[in-house]
Amino acid sequence: MLDAFTRHPTAIGESYAQHLAHAAAFGATMIVTGIACLIHAIFPFWFEKTASDCIRRLHAKMSARLRVETPAPQGSTAVQA
């Protein structure tokens, strides 16, 4: 049972706590950005670049983490959280 909590973090070179912190930070950022997108849908003059800027930042962070911690297998373009 414990393996279910540690298998993925271990596979990407993180402890459970490190993975929890990274995944929670990414998730919270996406929730806040999602709320900004919903507000933007109603008021298109607010948060005009919030979502695109956030996606770029999150992608850069995720890509940097994957390059440093675990090189992606050849031919793989998948990004894991």
User: pLDDT-derived band of residue 75, with 50, 70 and 90 as boundaries?
Assistant: low
pLDDT digits (tens, 9 = 90+) for 5-28: 999 999 888 999 999 999 999 999
pLDDT of 73 reads 55
Written as six digits, the tokens of 53 are 């800027």
Q: Please report the pLDDT score of residue 79 as a whole number.
A: 52
Print the SS3 string covering 42-61.
HCCCCCCCHHHHHHHHHHHH
pTM for the predicted model, two decimal places: 0.71
Q: What is the pLDDT of residue 21?
A: 95
Task: Provide the 8-state DSSP code for 5.
Answer: H
Q: Which residue's structure tokens are 């909590």?
A: 5
User: Using 50, 70 and 90 to split pLDDT, how confident is the model at 62?
Assistant: confident
Rounded-to-integer distance, Cα 66 and Cα 42, Å: 36
